[in-house]
Structure 1
Amino acid sequence: MVSQAGKIRAVFLAVLLTVAASVYGTTNQASADTVARSSSSQIMADMGAGWNLGNQLEANTNGYPSETAWGQPTVTQALIDKVRAAGFKTIRIPVSYLGSIGPGPNYTINPSWLNRIQEVANYAYNRGMHVMINMHGDGYKSINGSWLICDSPSQATIKAKYQKVWQQIANRFKNYDQRLILESMNEEFDGQYGQPTQPCYSNINSYNQIFVDTVRKTGGNNDSRWLLVAGWNTNIDYTAGNYGFTLPSDQYRSPSIPASERRIMISVHYYSPWDFAGEESGAITQWGRAATNPSRTSAWGQEDYLDSQLKKMYDTFATKGYPVVVGEYGAIDKSSFDSSNNRYRADFARAVAATAKKYGAATVYWDNGGTERYGFGLFNRRSLTVTQQGIINAIMSGVGGRAAAPGLPSGT
């Protein structure tokens, strides 16, 4: 039994920790912030609604990263402030490195590019948001200068380069608190949309293991940081099913973390059904139980399918302590073919966010900056205006756990 004096001392100590965290920051792994974020359920709740800064730091020209190469303006603090004001608490920053990586054996990242990555990350981090940084386009065969190719015969060189690049990124961010999340890769696969092949999947597993080991060994807050890894093409079936995905071990993490805390998250993307969410055609423009025209609605991938997919991730990973992040989801704008399309895009976004919430997962909407036909954009990045308030409202409704009625007009 604890004495009254002991209780008073405990309360006093808790107050001191809180004050210390606010005065001295939260970069020390023993801070109150780290303790508060120790559970997977807490980090998922803290991340709230997420948004992707797509087609910017992963954009490239002639094999070199260039944030304006794909038609978007230079990222500013004002843009991130606009996203934050809309209610988003997490920003995922896709990043390509490509030709900014120097030759071996050091594979040094161009300092100006690494500085810019940090500057953009700070736009969100310094506003109290969660920030996710990944390696995005380096594994796409369609990108000039890509090198993280799982079916390449040059695996020894690839793995050495991958390790050196992540070592530099991890060192740059190792003193950031747990609101900074690192993600190993993006949609890594052999480029063929079929079942996973071996040994390509084995190489993907090796990349994840190198990533975890490398980040942890840099020390600072990285030995307790939440790390995000993915299976084959971030596909739910090929990650949760018996296709070859293996969870990386985490032998170098801080011994202060309880054994029950994994500190590894699993990333998947959700664009099902693709003929509604991503196919550039005016054929399928409606989705969900509120759809009014069967001929414009996909025969598969409706709400029951969404629930079964996220439940599969919950059963396979979340129940074992590995939180799930739907790092990308959304549907392109087909309103030029069907004036009601945006309400179904909103229904889709609400359903993904709400179903993920049901299964304890976080969601990060894919915004590629496009605000016209086939765009995913919620904001005009030049005028800094909201272009899809109805979809934003739907996301916030879903994340908030409010079962808003489907099929409401955009802006409702």
Structure 2
Amino acid sequence: MSSRVRRAGLAVFAAGLALTGAVYGVARSTAANAAAQLTAPQLVADMGAGWNLGNQLEANANGIPSETAWGNPVITQALIDRVKASGFKTIRIPVSYLGKIGAAPNYTVDSAWLSRIQEVVNYAYNSGLYVLINMHGDGYKSVTGSWLVCDASDQTTIKAKYQKVWQQVATKFASYNDHLIFESMNEEFDGQYGNPTQPCYSNIVAYNQIFVDTVRRTGGTNASRWLLIPGWNTNIEYTTGNYGFSLPTDTYRSSSIPSGEQRLMISVHYYDPWDFAGQEDGNITQWGAAATNPAKKSTWGQEDYMDQMLKKMYDTFVTKGYPFFVGEYGSVDKTSADAANNTYRANFAKAVVATAKKYGGASAYWDNGYNGQYGLGLFNRSSNTVTQQGIVSAIINAAGGTSPTTPPISPSPSKTPGSPSPSPSKSSPGGAGTCRVVNAVSAWNTGLTNNITIANTGSTAINGWNLVFTLPAGQTITGGWSATYSPSSGTVTATNVSYNGTLAPGASATIGYQANHTGNAGAPTGFKLNGSTCS
């Protein structure tokens, strides 16, 4: 994300499949790395579902990068393991350098900071995931110590500094294979929303050229790795339209790359319509064709608009061999204003991923680590657990992967230290029928979450379903995912959402909810799917 005003939850909102049998460490030879190179369509397919480790390595305190400065805990291997186990195959790691850069003429990056960046990259890279790193907050005028400013007067100094920093970063990672991708910068523009200005856009184009030339000249796998190139503020219209964007030449790339193939990708972000995706109020909480209340739905930016915008990326770049990457997308949590909001957030995420894939691009959800009102968190980074399984499942399924059916889910943000540990999973009572249901209840103090896995045990497909069950006395649903729930207590009906309404024989879907309780944290009972009693 591009400014403090457009950031939610924390102090600032910032915004792969491994080859068979391979373990990707830093010691692989250049020859081995070159052999692993993929074509554009292969790369996009292999990257699968993506996730952003936002508000961490780009966070800063008074211009000094610090991964805990914006309220998140220290990044751990366990967190990355949970993200991978949830079905993600690509992780974008935004990075700021700012006050970690030394004086001219060498502009030496603090060695401890570079080592920490490498350590976090290794968490994902050594697990076989794709990893993207960039230069993130150095171009934000609103950030103390920013310097990559396209309309500043001393561009000679800026360009020299930019070249030296990327030279050091590229050298640090020169032996990493094609599962590591570099992105030149993030949401670079003059800070004023509206049509791009000159010579600011010309400077952005020049930065991209410096980036490509610098990385390629460091040698090793850098001569052939995929590089990610943004236009003006990663805006699709200003990147595809006639506003001043041009791709860098790739003069110094490895001769091992076939002449008809590219090794450049185009970076864009997608948060449209903003009144749904990012505006911090409860007015617009629904999105897409499934919306039920026109007053809560934006007047623009629906599925047809999304398709139109991402098709521009296909027409402008993909047809010429350049894939694109929607490096950020998402929508803030407005369940405090509309209990059904998470359904529309999942629908939005699913649509972005599926539409990008349709037009030759990959994507990565923006997670700022914050779980609460206007947050974008999918995971609890302290407990390394899933907090928005409905959105995660929508993303993974749209990307063509498989989401775990009963992943662990974190307790409510209101859970206090020292409260009881989650209770064991409990199965619902038996009964005959063509469906099977398994509860997975996690309880604490006066709250609980429950993931319900529904399996079609019959011989014919189920096309659209209602799951009826009875909550224990004293329980009230406060929010849910992957289904709509009504009423919130007593005998409840959960109705499928757009992406999980069809259950082929043997297929299953996982839904879930969060509830308050008055001492009885038991599992619901009496499950019936479309009137048929479930076992």
TM-score by length of 1: 0.92
What are the equivalent positions in structure 2 for 1:247-258 lying under 5 Å apart? 247-258=247-258
Q: How does 1:6-405 map to 2 (within 5 A)?
A: 27-31=28-32, 34-400=34-400
Greater share of residues in strand:
2
Contact 1:354 1:401 in 2 (8 A): no
Contact 1:137 1:186 in 2 (8 A): yes
Offset at 1:401? 8.3
Conserved 8 A contact 1:27-1:221: no
Match of 1:406 in 2: 498
Residue 11 of structure 1 is matched in structure 2 by: none
Output one character per residue of 1:185-207: Cα deviation in whole Å (capped at 9) or x when no partner: 00000000010000000000000
Look up the SS of the partner of 1:132 in the other structure. Answer: strand
Query: In 2, are the aligned partners of 1:343 and 1:408 still within 8 Å (CA)?
Result: no
User: What letter matches 2:498 in structure 1?
Assistant: P
- 1:22 Cα offset (Å): 6.9
Give per-residue Cα distances to partners, 1:355-394, cap 9 Å, x unaligned. Answer: 1111110010000001100011000101111000000000
Cα distance between partner residues in 2 of 1:165 and 1:275: 37
Paired residues of 1:346 and 1:394 also in contact (CA < 8 A):
yes
1:167 to partner: Cα distance? 0.1
Whole-angstrom CA distance in 1 between matches of 2:245 and 2:137: 21
Q: Secondary structure at the match of 2:191?
A: coil
Q: Structure 1 23/305 Cα, relative in aligned 2: closer, same or farther at 3 Å?
A: closer
Amino acid at match of 1:411: I
Give the letter aligned to residue 104 of structure 2: G
Deviation at 1:397, TM superposition (A): 1.5
Letter in 1 for 2:387: T
**Deviation digits for residues 119-161 of structure 1 (CA, Å, limit 9, x no counterpart):** 0000000100000000000000000000000000010000000
Tell me, in whole angstroms, the C-alpha distance in 2 between the residues paired with 1:304 and 1:188.
Answer: 27
Cα deviation, 1:172-217, whole Å, max 9, x if unaligned, reads: 0010000000000000000000100000000000000000000000
Structure-1 separation of matches of 2:351 and 2:175: 36
Q: The residue matched to 1:267 in structure 2 has which SS?
A: strand
Percent identity of equivalent pairs: 68
Give secondary structure in 1 for the equivalent of 2:38.
Answer: coil
Q: Cα distance 1:372–1:18, how it changes in 2: closer, same or farther (>3 A)?
A: closer
Query: How far apart are the structure 2 equivalents of 1:187 and 1:411?
Result: 35
Q: 1:300/1:24 Cα in 2 relative to 1: closer, same or farther (>3 Å)?
A: closer
Query: Structure 1 23/313 Cα, relative in aligned 2: closer, same or farther at 3 Å?
Result: closer
Aligned residues: 394
Structure 1 pair 370–249 and aligned structure 2 pair: CA distance change class (3 A) = same
Q: CA RMSD in A?
A: 2.1
Write the distance in 1 (CA, Å) between the matches of 2:192 and 2:76: 36
C-alpha contact (below 8 Å) 1:57/1:95 kept by paired residues: yes
Corresponding letter in the other structure for 1:406: S
SS of the residue 1:177 aligns to: coil
String of CA shifts for 1:206-263, please: whole Å, max 9, x gaps: 0000000000000000000100010000000000000000100000000111111110
1:69-100, CA deviations, whole angstroms, 9 ceiling, x for partnerless residues? 00000000000000000000000000000000
> Hey, what's the Cα distance between the residues in 2 that align with 1:363 and 1:34?
24
- Tell me the alpha carbon deviations over residues 23-56 of structure 1, each in whole angstroms, 9 at most, x when there is no partner: 998833432x643433001111111100000000
Looking at structure 2, the residues matched to 332 and 47 of structure 1 have their Cα atoms a distance apart, in angstroms, of 25
Amino acid at match of 1:28: S
Q: Larger relative CO (CA 8 A, sep 6+): 1 or 2?
A: 1
Amino acid at match of 1:101: I
- Flag the 1:22–1:390 CA change in 2: closer, same or farther, 3 A: closer
Unmatched segments (≥5 aa) in structure 2: 1-18, 403-462, 464-495, 502-509, 513-535
Aligned-partner residue type, residue 211 of structure 2: F
Q: How far apart in 2 are the matches of 1:225 and 1:129? A: 15
Tell me the distance in 1 between the aligned counterparts of 2:34 and 2:387.
37
Counterpart Cα distance in 1 of 2:158 and 2:24? 43
Q: Gapped runs of 5+ residues in structure 1?
A: 1-16
Structure 2 letter corresponding to 1:306: M
Q: Summarize deviations over 1:315-353 as a string: whole Å, max 9, x none.
A: 100110111000000100000000000000000000001
- Give, in angstroms, the shift of residue 271 of structure 1: 0.3
Counterpart residue type for residue 119 of structure 1 = E
> Secondary structure in 2 aligned to 1:411?
strand
Partner of 1:6: none
Query: Larger Cα Rg: Structure 1 or Structure 2?
Result: 2
Measure the CA separation in 2 of the matches of 1:187 and 1:24. Answer: 31
Write the letter of the residue equivalent to 1:138.
D
